[in-house]
Structure 1
Amino acid sequence: MEISGIISAIIIGIIIGVLGRLVVPGRQHIGVLLTIVVGIVAALIGAAIASGLGVADTKGIDWIEWLIQIGLAGVGIAALDRSRARR
């Protein structure tokens, strides 16, 4: 992976993390940095899932891939929020 790919993954991860945080109702007890990490991981896993389903490369905006990534980020944020709330 080139440096431009890493930078774009971080930027997309930030966007995915913020959108995933907005999907989860209520107040979350995780920090911004952890939200970004969850977003980056969700973006990478979501891209792999979309590629496996054959919906990653479409003409125009890849809406299905974005929805998969945002859904994964929402699940990751909710899971981390619940694990932190138990402590």
Structure 2
Amino acid sequence: MQLRFLGIIPNTPVDDSPTIWVDDDTGDLLIQSYKATEDEVKACQEVGSIPGHSTNVPDHETIIRLPAVMLKYIPQSEDRRSEVPRT
């Protein structure tokens, strides 16, 4: 695994710092951020995703809340950059 730091929310306390890294080998993102609240998880489950897909969150997964200011750190292909709102 070859990780590369992408960004952190500026001016956050030393122990409260949403951060994003990318695995250069796979392109996967690793995201440290705020845990979704129980109400947020329930709302995600109520909205669902695709028909027939479970809304349960397995033990090896979680739902996080990524602050909008962090979107600027998510890599996008050149043709998709204009579609993503930046903050």
TM-score interval for Structure 1 and Structure 2 normalised by the shorter chain: under 0.3
The structure in which a higher percent of residues are helix is: 1
**Greater RCO structure (CA 8 Å; 6+ sep):** 1
* Rg larger for: 2
More strand as a share of residues: 2
